[in-house]
Amino acid sequence: MTCVNCSNGIEKFLNRQKGVLKTKVSFASSEGEFQIDSKLFSREKLISQIEKLGYKVEEDTKALEEEQLKSFKELKKLFITSISITIAIFILAFSNIFEKTLNTYIIFVLASIIQFYCGARFYKLAYKAVANKNYDMNVLVAIGTSAAYFYSTFVVFFPSLFPEHLRFIYFDGAAVIISFIILGRFLEENSKQKASDFLKKLMSLAPENANVMDENKQIKTVLVKDLKLGDSVLVKIGEKIPVDGLIIEGNADINTSMITGESLPVFKQEGDEVLAGTLNTNGVITLKVTKESKDTTLSKIITLLKSAQSKQIPISRFADKIANIFVPTVIIISILTFIVWGFFIGDLQNAIIASISVLIISCPCALGLATPIAIVSSVSRGAKEGILIKNPEILEQIKEIKYAVFDKTGTLTKGNISVTKTDIKEEYFKRIASIEKYSEHPISKAIVKFIENKNISCDEKIENIEIIPGHGIKVSIDNIEYLLGNKKLLEDNQVSILEKHLNFYEKELELSNGVILVAIDKETIGSFSLEDELKEEAIEVIKNLKNIGIKAVLLTGDNEITASKIAKKLNINEVYAQVIPTEKYEVIKRLQKEAKVMFIGDGVNDAPSIKQADIGITLNSGADISKDAGDIVLINNELNSVIKSINLSIETMKIVKQNLFWAFGYNTLGIPIAAGILYPFFGIMLSPMYAGIAMSFSSVTVVVNSLRLKMKKL
């Protein structure tokens, strides 16, 4: 496909066929999705009908890329041939190398090569477009250059048919037009490939083969697509992780930069999850396959990116409608221009020049490219920043957002329990940590981590530990009883809490922190206060949202004391606490009655709210169902990416509007000039050659402007 009218034409043609229920063709990604009634319209017929329109169909991505590369090389070859011959035509036209008549005949032969060899693609596509009642830019190019070429041919071979003052030849003009349009196509194709580079890099991340270990620890190399859930896979130093999995043996530093955007390798050990496409930099690990190749995080990212690049935003659909009625309108304007100059003014020469120039200068390439190229650039730039834009339609809505509603746990907070303070003396830490080390409970892990961070070892051997579910731990060492747990555990074991320890305990409870009491030999020694820590960037994100006029709202299932404490730290004034998932959904709907709402969450319980919100943002660390519901997935799990997403959307819409303004402005200004409106006042008449250059320049301008997104600071 050469422009957005091609994709529109395929859709229009197929939608008229009985048995075709739904079509969606993307010029940007060169992909199509079709829903058909197989009883009325077969898959084979679908392919043959598309090929009938003049387009080749590939059902494999690799084959498509090969065809695109082949087409790209063909365009390059055509441009080199065309521009070389055009230069030769100009040399002959402005020199006396041969006798005048011979010179003219040689120019005719060279121009014919350009017209029917280099320009053959325009004739083929124009014919099929008209045959299927679709009028695209190929029709304009074919009509415009043919008019210039055949007029010149008649002047060369039948000069007596024309008065002396109308015996002009425009072979050079037609040649330049074809050369520059091919150059424009070449640059457009090149820009599309560059904009999709990140997607291609992602697709090449996952290795094709994997080392599978059987029950006898024997290693066998198999294709990644043949791996099954539960398989054990060995990953050596310098190898890429083939699928998402859980490390069951070994540890290593994993380079995750292409997936999460983290610049430094992340240490992973037994029990940690690793993602397909990431790189094992310095260890040997064995992992258990948890997701098949088609379901990995990487494959989902690739699928979503492809889908996002093929979607259109509302402003794009408006541009497409304009582009689709533009060509017939231009042809009418060209005919009227010829009639006015030829019959009313009586200047046949200017009639020919003006009507051809109108056809050439008004090709809607820039209009068709304005939005798709910007979307492709935006999606790929977002992916590089760890922002996966699933639904580009939100790019146009973000400017209207007035509320940013946040879930708390795992979104604004780290989702990990940690010890924040204690009134226990350090002399007890080693034994406490040695006891807690034997429990897998998150609270026990938090206490062990807190003590280990003080460089205190926890290597005492402890026996006869009794873990009491819902209460805590009880252990006897050298006939001394140790209790670590909640108040109920101590009461059940007839331990009285000293007043100073009770004051600390109750104060922390009032702050809605978790508190673990510790008693030795029936006497309390103090307690640990625990809470879910705020993410470092949370305060800055809320502040930045306020600076751009977006009100932050906290929406959580936690109790009011905890919610209020978090809200106070973040300077959030509107808080909804102790709400169940259905109530969260209702809060979003209520806020939407006032203004557009963005929701940021990560849990299964957030999925309905994410889906209901005008813009749903979810974290990659969240549940699969919430990621499916979201419009944007933050692959790097960084809250700062919320601001980056907003900035990227704003910049994308600026680029789209600049592109559309340029495209509409160019045609609004260019068509009257090409029609000769300046001639009566300034004697300026735009020749078809310069019209062709101007048209190509407009397309290149739109492409270059869109690629600026790759360099924008977010």
Helix (H), strand (E) at residue 280: strand 279-280
Distances (CA, A) of 310 to 157, 367, 398, 507, 625: 50, 17, 20, 56, 23
Helix (H), strand (E) at residue 616: strand 615-619
CA–CA separation, 306 and 31 (whole Å):
9
Write the secondary structure of 326-393 as one string of H (helix), E (strand) and C (coil). HHHHHHHHHHHHHHHHHHHHCCHHHHHHHHHHHHHHCCCHHHHHCCHHHHHHHHHHHHHCCEEECCHH
Contact 241, 291 (CB under 8 A): no
DSSP 448-487: HHHHHTTT--------S-EEETTTEEEEEETTEEEEEE-H
CA atoms within a 13 Å half-sphere pointing along the CA-CB vector of 412: 28
Q: CB neighbours of 554 closer than 8 A, spacing ≥ 6?
A: 405, 406, 408, 412, 563, 566, 567, 570, 572, 574, 575, 576, 577
Distances (CA, A) of 136 to 32, 140, 367: 19, 7, 12
Residue type present at position 277 = G
* 3-state class (DSSP) for residue 113: helix
Closest alpha carbon to 191 in 659, 651, 632, 636 = 659
Distances (CA, A) of 365 to 144, 169, 178, 323, 573: 15, 27, 14, 9, 50
Closest alpha carbon to 438 in 461, 404, 469 = 461
Contact 27, 160 (CB under 8 A): no
CA–CA separation, 172 and 108 (whole Å):
10
Strand partners, 527: 517
| Strand 472-477 relative to strand 466-468, pairing | antiparallel
Cα 645–650–651 angle (5° rounding)?
100
223 phi/psi in degrees, rounded to 5? -70, 140
Active site residue 407: yes
Contact 511, 408 (CB under 8 A): no
Residue type present at position 678 = L
* 3-state class (DSSP) for residue 154: helix
206 DSSP assignment: S
CA–CA separation, 126 and 142 (whole Å):
7
* 3-state class (DSSP) for residue 98: coil
Catalytic, out of 136, 407, 558, 606? 407
| b (16+ CB within 10 A) / e for 235-271 | beeebbbbbbbebeebebebbbbbbbbbeebbebeee
Residues known to be catalytic? 407
